[in-house]
């Protein structure tokens, strides 16, 4: 089991080293890995978003601002659409850090189910990992207090 965690951590590190503007195509295997609490040894946000979702951009802006001020958590974004020219623009404009995924060749329904079987497609959808095995998911626009609580981070501990 420890080797599996080591391999998962190594794959995250390698992926994070890739250019921030590049999207990795998401398949069901990668989706399952992204939402496995054992893959997250630090507090992590997995933000599901779409280029046409105004509320998604509100969350992404908040996550970007929080990441600039607090390096204790990791951010992963998943575009719930295939990659196309210009998909990175909203993330780049907001200086959103972290690993980026876009839906790959698997069906959108299969990918959505692999990411969160309870999710019905509403956006934005955010999956939080506290880095200690805890996981929660919320739909809609979130506040900084909600994010900090879900990640197990106190506002005054930077």
Residue 99, CB half-sphere, CA atoms under 13 Å: how many? Answer: 20
CA distance 23 to 4: 24
The pTM assigned to this predicted structure is 0.85
- Is residue 1 over pLDDT 60? no
The predicted model gives 107-130 an average pLDDT of: 97
Distance of CA 136 to the CA centre of its chain: 12
Mean pLDDT of the chain, nearest integer: 89
The predicted model gives 84-107 an average pLDDT of: 97
Residue pair 34/119 in contact (Cβ under 8 Å)? The answer is no
Confidence of residue 38 (pLDDT cuts 50, 70, 90): very high
The predicted model gives 42-49 an average pLDDT of: 98
Confidence of residue 141 (pLDDT cuts 50, 70, 90): very high
- Is residue 3 over pLDDT 70? no
- Length, in residues, of the chain: 158
| DSSP string over 77-135 | EEEEEE--TTTTHHHHHTT--SEEEEE-SS-HHHHHHHH-TT--S-SSEEEEE-SSS-E
What's the confidence (pLDDT) of residue 154? 79
The predicted model gives 83-93 an average pLDDT of: 97
Domains of the chain: 2-151 (3.40.30.10)
65 CB-near residues (< 8 Å, 6+ apart): none
Percent of the chain predicted with pLDDT > 90: 84
What's the confidence (pLDDT) of residue 157? 53
């Amino acid at each position: 089991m420890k080797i599996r965690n080591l391999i998962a951590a190594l794959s995250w590190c390698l992926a994070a080293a890739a250019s921030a503007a590049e999207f990795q195509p998401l398949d069901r295997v990668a989706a399952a890995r992204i939402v496995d609490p054992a893959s997250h040894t630090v507090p992590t946000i997995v933000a599901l978003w779409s280029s046409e979702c105004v509320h998604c951009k509100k969350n992404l802006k908040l996550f970007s601002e929080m990441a600039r001020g607090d390096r204790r958590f990791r951010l992963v974004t998943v575009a719930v659409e295939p990659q196309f020219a210009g998909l990175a623009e909203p993330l780049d404009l907001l200086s959103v850090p972290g690993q980026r995924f876009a839906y790959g060749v698997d069906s959108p329904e299969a990918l959505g189910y692999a990411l969160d079987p309870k999710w019905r497609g509403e956006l934005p959808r955010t999956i939080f990992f506290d880095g200690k095995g805890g996981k929660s998911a919320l739909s809609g626009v979130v506040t900084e207090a909600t994010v900090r609580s879900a990640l197990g981070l106190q506002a005054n501990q930077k």
